[in-house]
Amino acid sequence: MSLQFYSNILSQASRRLAGGMLATGLALISFGLLIYLLPRLFATLAAMVFFVVGIGTCITAIKIFAAQRHIDKEINDKPAEYRENVRIHAENHYRI
């Protein structure tokens, strides 16, 4: 393959990269301008996001507590496989 082929590929890649960077820059500038011009709207949107995420977190925590309670209940409801007030005496047969 010739040097011209690689030059064309590099040229296309750099143009695509520059185009992507330009689009990202313009989007950031416009987003910043919108926040500057409409701060109450974006504050309200941010508050709504935090509220919804907070509710989701609380629901998840309640589900975890309920699952843990269910697990503890199952462990404690199993019949005891041992007898209470029974002592095991083992004699030490090892001589040192």
pLDDT in tens, the chain (96 residues): 677 777 888 788 888 999 999 999 999 999 899 889 999 998 999 999 999 999 999 999 999 999 999 888 887 776 656 656 666 666 666 665
What gap in Å lies between CA 83 and CA 87, rounded to an integer?
9
Answer yes or no: are the C-beta atoms of 21 and 14 closer than 8 Å. Answer: no
Residue given tokens 């090892």 in the structure block: 94
**Residue 59 tokens, joined:** 């629901």
Q: Furthest-apart CA pair in the chain: how many Å?
A: 91
